[in-house]
Chain A
């Protein structure tokens, strides 16, 4: 037994010189702890880039905003190509839909990246911080506005959501969601200038326009009319003379662009993480299948315009040939070849078709198209203002003026100007929004917010105005959240 003592003693000695439990206390090498950040201006700026980053994932909102409406059919390779898109097109979507889940997840990721900054907004002070905070709040409002448009009531929080919040934080009523959006945007309006420090960053004009839009979506016409008119009068924006140039690369961030989501093709991307792409994924999805010819490059033939929207254009409207590519006519005149996909209509969404690429473009080229998304154009602002003045019963003359500014450019003359009033004017504005903004992801929401959802084939009133909460989220919430009506 003495031997054992001897053994233990010698081992204890050896152990004590070799190691103690401190051995495993080590800092993670070359990494930054998220809870120990925001120590300088550049930390705030870097986190702000993260909050902007999620804007690029809103490509799917734009694409689905068109597909869900009566503007386009889903298309694609076959009836089962991206089944979630197909179901939304046919208005037979259910809570089981991975693409709707993407919208939910990616927009909340945007909210959370903004909230990360907001959570630490008071940690470090530096001159000009209010600009970064204002941009952050704009972005949070932008993401929340998408969420409320798609899903209605959603959970609200002004710091990061944590695991478990899904079971305790309720879905706030739409009015409360809008209250936060309005507060965030008002802060942005108050703290930003019409010119941003860098192209692509949020301006006062963007905040005013989005705030006006948020008011309009709530039918707060006078508030909308006021802020939008203020923007029209004081902002540096104007219509581009030639509608055709807006959607080409040279037209990016032009005078008509109030807010634009920035994309580039200098970084590669893959299907494994579409939200990681720095390119506009919706563009490749909308491209002509197996296209070979001038000006454009090929894509996956989703989001194909219907005859209905093509017929919506009046004779003499210069916008038609910019917005709609008639592939048969184009092929006949240029010799371009193309394939036909599912639900081929012969039309393509020309504004956001993939253009011929630079030699710098990184693959997968279908996923990295550099076309910026013109999220809020001045034409949209004019039409929103027209709608606010008209539907609010405030001033139909002003409404006509704003509407006719858009029409004059479209027709290149004043002879197509509208002099209607009242409901007739309202319908003229609705018509104008559809043709002016076709292919830009607005139409579905314009229809449902004005009670015209039944124009969409398969639309069920009191159900399809909102999309269902993803089934996974209902399950995660463990009874905390109820599904939207009808789903």
Chain B
């Protein structure tokens, strides 16, 4: 009764207020970028009185009673309600609803609401890209997406990165398929600011990509304009200063001389430095090669918008980065221009076009491996000066103690000349046709075409009897042309029956072709021995050997695919996919491949028993299983070609003939990936907490093992020949992924979000069906057996060497231990004691075993963002635990410089149990063993950023919608016990990765930047 009375009174009150009606005007903008939003729906709550905003985000609504509620709603934004107190204008800022379950996620040949997705799919938004400021797109996936690991090939400008989705599954190519707006592309040269979202398909959801999807799929959606949107102009710029993140602690001149004296004395030789006084610190070679305050600059500019039928986006960018080593000779320049257009030709037909032009210029020095600049900086003794009395580069003496590989790194930089340019055009034209109600046809063609030119000049130079001496100058040039296109034609049919059974059916075909050629030539006797004259046009000297070459290729793939998606009331979800692939890479006996998969999900939170839960707002369980393929194998492996080298000397001159190339395998087929995944998506506390967890088992079967070791009687060791590529291996990756995101608005001024993700991974090789049962790779030291193996029961690419058991402290211990002389020298006190693994009473190479592997057990990311008033703060961290790395940047010669850990060496009984003695005599201490394997676990603060946006009252006056300045530090600090430059680097090789020959460290970069929107 009381209630009724209250209602009645309220009604009276309301009616009386009716007399007070206002016309409310105002403006609606986006909270994220401050830009006006057109066509926002505004209605007076519980009435039919409504209007929409105009092109500039302005609105005017009549007859609004006092205390009525205005509801502002727009797709993709959180709906906002404002109570009308008086007739003053009401300006509203809507926030983008990026996390909403209604968000649409691309899944390949279509898209799906996030709520309905039944596969393991992760999305990285443009906001994350904004915050991380990656130079290359791949960096944005490190630590932000569970199940994805990104390793750098070094810190040199423009150096490559490798993405591994759910571990290393093959000894072959492990990189994921990259699809840009529907066509096959590549990430490495994209401008990160052109990207709207990155979607990662990690499980059988990718099966729609059949024989190219086994390594996972990265789907890139580029930014486009929005219909009915006023031109939105954005300009971003930053300048950064780079320095090295690490210098190795090397011996100074005095320490070095004393150590050498000790080693020479132990070897029974005369002291090389009878008088060490006055040597001092000597030359800091790392200091000589590393530079500080090395610039990086980036500008990008974009305009986007749209009318009722047209959308457009135009952007351009410029990035220039110099290297912290040899800034003038290692630099990277990337200019991009992009145009995106969309048009509704009719009610039923929409066309889209998107074109990106990229220009890239990269110069590099030798930055990895034996002979790299850093290798020389590490190994050149501090006792040598950089320049001699005449200002010429000092030569590193060619003595047995220094060998013939170490040269003055500054001279090396000075004598390095090369240039690489790439011009690339890629894009797509797509047509969507709503044939009938519920039936839509899509036809699109995507293309990449690139031309690159490379030039390197080998200056005539004499380092005094080193392997890098060049007796005759030459210039080598190449021109490479690569093209591909993907043609997709597919149709979708969707309908809902009886308001409960929803069906989505997709069927179509993709035609893919890649073709291109390369041309190489060398000219000799460059005029004046100078880079300025280094061109074949001027280098007219000829060689007696053939110094030109070329290649051409033409690879094709034809695919048919279909997908059925079904759900019952959005609660029970199911999808099935089937793809049929033909590829020119497969042998005649295995031309056609079929790839089936199924996924299913159950939205538990929609069940009545959970519908009214206060804590749990969403819960979905999902599972998927499917078979995918990998066709990234050498071309023409099924045919036997005369591609071997046949060169001999008749009449005193070279003659070239023909010889057998790599042996054929007509049974060659794709690798087969069986992917199983169960997972759950959970949202708690009004969506403030968002949890995703997955367990996966990926088994890669029929691994393509190229140059499989085979009996030598087949002649496969001949120049240019090789063993066939055979489907002969199997690898399993199992793991858990867990990601939790918590975000909250604590007050009007303070909001934050924290994201943590963790992935565990267990890698095991199940089969290697060659005769030896293992594959080996990688390199360690000089002339030592291969250090890495792929072998049954072990992780792929594990390190295979001798296990150590401390240091022999005295002769009695040596005598009590099996003889180590088979390793090359009889052991003495102070030498490393190796473990007799096979127990045969002798230490030899048969005692090698698993001494570590480069695959991390666990990787995780912890990312935090905080907004307080006009300040914003983000920090991104990444951790990798359990990955081992091999120290291989030391030239193990008596006179090469050393890291200062040798100061803790064994010098007598009880002095050290970890570092062996020094001597110029023969020892077995440099044989590949645990001594050289280090735990390279690390935690890295990848990015730290603090920004400040000018308050609206200032920006409004200036006619701009947003002005933000920020400062950031990339790669602020890496916590690790690893001795080398970069525990996170790898050459990316599945067998032979994680061997550190002196990786160029990633730079620490201090950035100052500006974002401007109007």
A interface residues, Cβ below 8 angstroms from B: 3-4, 6-8, 10-11, 14-15, 18-19, 21, 23-24, 26, 28-35, 37, 43, 45-50, 52-56, 77-83, 86, 92, 96, 98, 101-102, 104-106, 108-113, 116, 155, 160-163, 165-166, 198-201, 262-264, 266-268, 273, 275-276, 278, 289-290, 292, 298, 339-342, 357, 359-366, 470, 472-473, 475-478
Contact = CB atoms under 8 A, between A and B. Distances in A.
Contacts of A155: 713
Contacts of A357: 471
A24 B551 CA distance: 20
Given A79-B922, A166-B711, A200-B650, A49 B400 contact: no
A79 B824 CA distance: 5
Interface string B482-516: 00000101110101000000000101110100000
B719 A53 contact: yes
A50 B658 contact: yes
B710 A363 contact: no
B511 A82 contact: no
Nearest to A343: B922
Given A26-B584, A50-B657, A110-B715, 14 more contacts: A15-B509, A26-B554, A33-B641, A49-B650, A49-B658, A110-B718, A113-B660, A199-B651, A264-B649, A264-B652, A275-B717, A290-B399, A362-B543, A364-B467
B783 interface: yes
A377 B719 CA distance: 28
Contacts of B663: 163
Nearest first, the 4 A-B pairs at minimum CB distance are A49-B657, A112-B715, A50-B659, A50-B646
B1008 to A, nearest CB: 46
A84 B845 CA distance: 12
30 contacts: A3-B437, A15-B509, A15-B560, A21-B558, A21-B592, A29-B552, A33-B642, A37-B642, A47-B646, A48-B657, A54-B718, A56-B648, A79-B922, A80-B784, A83-B824, A108-B712, A108-B715, A112-B715, A160-B714, A163-B724, A165-B714, A266-B654, A267-B544, A289-B400, A290-B465, A359-B471, A359-B472, A360-B472, A360-B543, A473-B712
A292 B649 contact: no
B747 interface: no
Interface in B642-668: 642-661, 663
Contact of A112 (B509, B550, B660): B660
Nearest to A14: B489
A200 B656 CA distance: 14
A327 to B, nearest CB: 14
A75 to B, nearest CB: 11
A262 B647 CA distance: 11
A373 to B, nearest CB: 12
A33 B543 CA distance: 29
A478 B771 contact: yes
A15 B469 CA distance: 60
B8 interface: no
Contacts of A163: 663, 710-711, 714, 724
B718 A80 contact: no
Nearest to A277: B719
Interface stretch (B63-71, B409-417, B438-446, B680-688): B438-446
Nearest to A2: B436
Given A46-B658, A53-B645, A290 B400 contact: yes
B435 interface: yes
Nearest to B472: A359
B558 A24 contact: yes
Given A3-B493, A165-B713, A28 B639 contact: yes
B772 interface: yes
Interface string B992-1011: 00000000000000000000
The interface centre, meaning the residue of B472, B550, B553, B583 with most chain A CB atoms within 10 A of its CB, is B472
B398 A290 contact: yes
A106 B721 CA distance: 11
Contacts of A7: 435, 439, 441, 491, 493, 507
Interface string B920-931: 001010110000
Contact of B659 (A4, A24, A43, A113): A113
Contact of B714 (A6, A33, A112): A112
A198 B556 contact: no
Contacts of B511: 18-19, 23
A266 B647 CA distance: 12
A23 B845 contact: no
Contact of A476 (B659, B711, B717): B711
A192 to B, nearest CB: 15
Interface string B620-644: 0000000000000001100111111
Nearest to B894: A78
Given A267-B545, A340-B400, A34 B661 contact: yes
A45 B556 contact: no
Contacts of B893: 77
Contacts of B276: none
A273 B438 CA distance: 62
A43 B400 contact: no
Interface residues of B, number: 103
Contact of B509 (A19, A83, A111, A275): A19
A366 B469 CA distance: 11
A78 B824 contact: yes
Contacts of B659: 47, 49-50, 53, 113
B716 interface: yes
B719 A79 contact: no
B472 A31 contact: no
Contact of A267 (B400, B404, B654): B654
A40 to B, nearest CB: 12
B715 A4 contact: no
Contacts of A262: 648-650, 652
A394 B486 CA distance: 81
A50 B644 contact: yes
A357 B649 CA distance: 18
Interface in B845-866: 845-846
Given A21-B558, A23-B511, A276-B645, A80 B927 contact: yes
B715 A161 contact: yes
A339 B400 contact: yes
Contact of A160 (B472, B505, B645, B715): B715
A475 B712 CA distance: 12
Contact of A23 (B469, B558, B635): B558
Contacts of A101: 712
A53 B657 CA distance: 9
Nearest to A300: B404
B11 interface: no
Nearest to A278: B647
Given A96-B845, A342-B922, A475-B771, A24 B465 contact: no
Interface in B340-399: 398-399
B557 interface: yes
Contacts of A106: 717-718
A92 B439 contact: no
A292 B465 contact: yes
A264 B655 contact: no
Contacts of B545: 266-268, 278, 362
B823 interface: yes
Nearest to B783: A82
A467 to B, nearest CB: 14
Nearest to B547: A267
B582 interface: yes
Contact of B715 (A3, A109, A298): A109
B565 to A, nearest CB: 14
Contacts of B661: 34
Nearest to A107: B712
A49 B509 contact: no
A166 B723 CA distance: 14
Nearest to B441: A10
B924 A80 contact: yes
A48 B647 CA distance: 10
A53 B543 contact: no
